[in-house]
Amino acid sequence: MAGDSRDRSDVDYIHPRLIDTSQELASLLPESLAREHNVLAQGVGGRVLTILIGDPNDFFAMDRLRFTLGSCSEVRFVLSSRRGIQEAIERVYGTTGV
């Protein structure tokens, strides 16, 4: 949407082959949220938690994650392919849902 202050065209991108699937990062985000919104923790630096997201316009997911995780840190979103994130979630948490 042109002129929308919530436009995410400036979001960084991580290629699916570069997704970090370490358990340490996965522990920063509840599995239920990861699966529900197809997101995955990708890094932490200081008080900034970086989250992979497949849809840079999924404002509901972004707002929910900010609200849920915001008391502990600032949340930064980075774009990756939806399929790549889903495959990484399966590697991290297994193929069975919560």
Residue at 5 is within a domain: no
Residue 16: what pLDDT? 87
Which secondary structure element, helix H or strand E, spans residue 75, and what is its range?
Answer: strand 74-79
Number of domains in the chain: 1
Residue at 10 is within a domain: no
Residue at 69 is within a domain: yes
Residue at 4 is within a domain: no
Instruction: Give me the DSSP letters along 2-68.
Output: TT-TT--TT--B--GGG----HHHHTTS-HHHHHHHTEEEEEEETTEEEEEES-TT-HHHHHHHHHH
Residue range of the domain that includes 75? 16-93
Residue at 1 is within a domain: no
- Residue 43: give its domain's CATH number: 3.30.300.160
The model's pLDDT over 4-25, given as tens digits with 9 standing for 90+, comes to 444 445 669 998 889 898 999 8
pTM of the model: 0.80
The model's pLDDT over 28-38, given as tens digits with 9 standing for 90+, comes to 889 999 999 99
